Amino acid sequence: MGQAIDKVNFSHRDFKAFGRKLHQCLNALELLLERPSFGRGEASIGAELELYLLDSKGLPLPDNVAIQKQFGDPRLTLELNRYNLEYNLSPVTAAGEPFSALEQQMLDALYRLQLLTEKQGGNVLPIGILPTLRSDDFGESAMTDELRYHVLADMLHKMRDPSFGINIDGEDAIRLVQGDVTLEGACTSFQLHYRIEPARFASLWNCIQLVTPLVLGLSANSPLLLGHRLWHETRVPLFKQSIDGRGGVGHEWRDPERVSFGHGWLRGDPMALFREMVQLYRPMIPLRTDEDPISVVKQGGIPRLEELCLHDGTIWSWNRPIYDPEGDAHLRIEMRALPAGPTPIDMVANAALFIGLAEGLVDQTDPLLSAMPFSYAEYNFYRASQFGLKANILWPDPLQNGLQERPLIDVVSQLLPIAAYGLEKISVSSQESKRLLAVIENRLNTGRNGAIWQLKNYSDLLSSNLRRPEACRRLVSAYGERSVSNTPVSEWSDI
C-alpha cells in the first residue's frame, strides 16, 4: 500500500479487467522464475521501522506530513495515521556485520527525528502500541490525508461486518462497539526483509513460519491499549480485527481473512504463494498499467508486475512473499509480525535470532514439518502473541511420539546454538553473532522483554493510586528515557 493512487471510484468492469491482469502477472512471474539467472545473488537483509510521534505530554503528535518534509529523506514515508511514520532502512548484505549496520541506520534516523520533534517539545518512539492513545486518536480525523488511505478505508469498510467491533481478552478485557481502520494504525512494527535465491525460497519460508512464534513471544512489546492490559502482543488481535472485522461465521463459507498466519506449509516453489494470493483473495484496488508482462519476459526484460505488487499489499499475512523488480530483481520474504522497539539493539537482536533460527533449521525442514501440522504452528503464533515470554507452545521433534507443550523460554534457550550456526552459515561474523545472541540470552535469563516491563511497571503505577491516563503518561515517559539509551530492555530498571 505504499503505491500512489489517483482514482477513487471503480466499476465492475475495472475489477474484472484487473483480475485478468493479475493472472497475466502470474504467468509472467512463472516464466521469469524459469530463467536460471533470476534472483541469483548474495543474501541481504532490509527492514522497515514504524514509529510514533509524541507531543510534550507523551500524547500522539498528528504532524507526520510536516516532520517528513523537514526530514528530507525519501526513506521516511507516511503511515496510515497522522502520528505515525515509517523509516525504510537501506538493505545490507547478510555477510559480515549486517545487524550492526541496520542498528546504526536506526540510531541515526531516530536521532535526526528526535531533533525535529524536540522543536515542538515532543519526541519519537519505537513501541508496538502507544499506551497513551485515547479514543479520540482514532477515526477519520486521525487518518493521514492521502488518497490511498481513504480508498483503503472505504474498501475495507465495504468488506467489514458493520456490527462487529474490537474484542480482545486480557486482564482488563476490552470491547469497542465500533471498529475502525485507523485502529490498525495503532500497531507499529519492525518488519524484516530477507532476500534469498528462488531455489531456497520454499524451505526458508517454511522455517520462517515455524520459528515466527518463538521470536514473536520473545519480542512482545504491545501489552496496552487505551489503558487496558491485554495480550503481550496486542498488535496481533487488534490488527486482525481492525482489518478483517467479522463476527460469527456460522456454517456459511466466507472469503479468507486478509490478515492471517497462512494456509499451510509451502510444498513446491514460491509460485504457489503468489497463485494463492491471486486465486483466494478478491482485488480491493483495481488499478492497471499498460504493461504486457508476458511480452516483457519473453523479450528478456524484467516486468514490473505492478498489479501483482499492489494486490500483494492488500493482503496482510504475517509473513509475506515479495517480488521486487527494482535494480537487481529478486524475491524476498517479509517478516511482518515483530513489534517496533523497545530499542534498536533489541530489534536487531530479534532479527538475528529470526534469521539465524530459520537458516539453522533449514536442513531439517522435512522431518520438522512432518512432526508439526501447520494448524499447530498457527496455534503457537496466537499463544505467543497472547502470553509472550510466558507462553507454552508446541515444538516438533523428529523422534517424537505425540505432541506436548513446552515453555517458549525453554525452546528458545535450547535452540540458541542452532541460531548461532545459522548465522555462521550465511557468513555473519562470530563477534556480531555472539553480541546479539547474548542480548537474547539475557532476555531469557531475566524473563523480561518490552511487554513484561510495561505490564509490571503499569500495574505498579496503578497500585500507587494513579488513574489510568496518568499511569500511562508516566510509563511512556520512563520508556522513552530508557529507549533512547539503546540499552537492551532486559537491563532496564523499574520506574
So what's the pLDDT on residue 181? 82
The dihedral formed by the CA atoms of 197, 198, 201 and 203, expressed in degrees to the nearest 10: -100
Each of the 495 residues of the chain gets a pLDDT tens digit; together they read: 455 566 678 899 999 999 999 999 999 999 999 999 999 999 999 999 999 999 999 999 999 999 999 999 999 999 999 999 999 999 999 999 999 999 999 999 999 999 999 988 889 999 999 999 999 999 989 999 988 888 888 888 777 766 668 899 999 999 987 667 889 989 999 999 999 999 999 999 999 999 999 999 999 999 999 999 999 999 999 999 988 866 544 556 778 899 999 999 999 899 999 999 999 999 999 999 999 999 999 999 999 999 999 999 999 999 999 999 999 999 999 999 999 999 999 999 999 999 999 999 999 999 999 999 999 999 999 999 999 999 999 999 888 888 899 999 999 999 999 999 999 999 999 999 999 999 999 999 999 999 999 999 999 999 999 999 999 999 999 999 999 999 999 999 999
| Cell matching residue 143 | 487518518
Phi, psi of 78 (to 5 degrees): -80, 155
So what's the pLDDT on residue 89? 98
So what's the pLDDT on residue 55? 96
H helical segments located in 119-246: 147-159, 198-219, 235-244
CB of 242 closer than 8 Å to CB of 180: yes
| Cell matching residue 96 | 559480515
HSE, side-chain direction, 13 A CA sphere, residue 453? 27
The dihedral formed by the CA atoms of 443, 320, 380 and 346, expressed in degrees to the nearest 10: 10
So what's the pLDDT on residue 398? 80
* Amino acid code (one letter) for 319: N
Task: Report the 10 Å Cβ neighbour count for 165.
Answer: 18
- For residue 300, give every residue at least 6 positions away whose Cβ sits within 8 Å of its Cβ, in sequence order, or none: none
Q: How many residues does the chain have?
A: 495
pLDDT tens by residue, 252-291 = 677 889 999 999 999 989 999 999 999 999 999 999 999 9
Structural domains for the chain: 35-262+317-491 (3.30.590.20)
In sequence order, the β-bridge partners of residue 81 are: 143
pLDDT tens by residue, 155-179 = 887 777 666 688 999 999 999 876 6
Alpha carbon distances (Å) from 329 to 4, 232, 409, 420: 21, 37, 38, 29
Report d(CA 239, CA 233) in Å as an integer.
11
368 Cα distance to chain centroid: 25
142 Cα distance to chain centroid: 22
In 3-state terms, what secondary structure has residue 405?
strand
So what's the pLDDT on residue 1? 46
CB of 412 closer than 8 Å to CB of 444: yes
CB of 89 closer than 8 Å to CB of 351: no
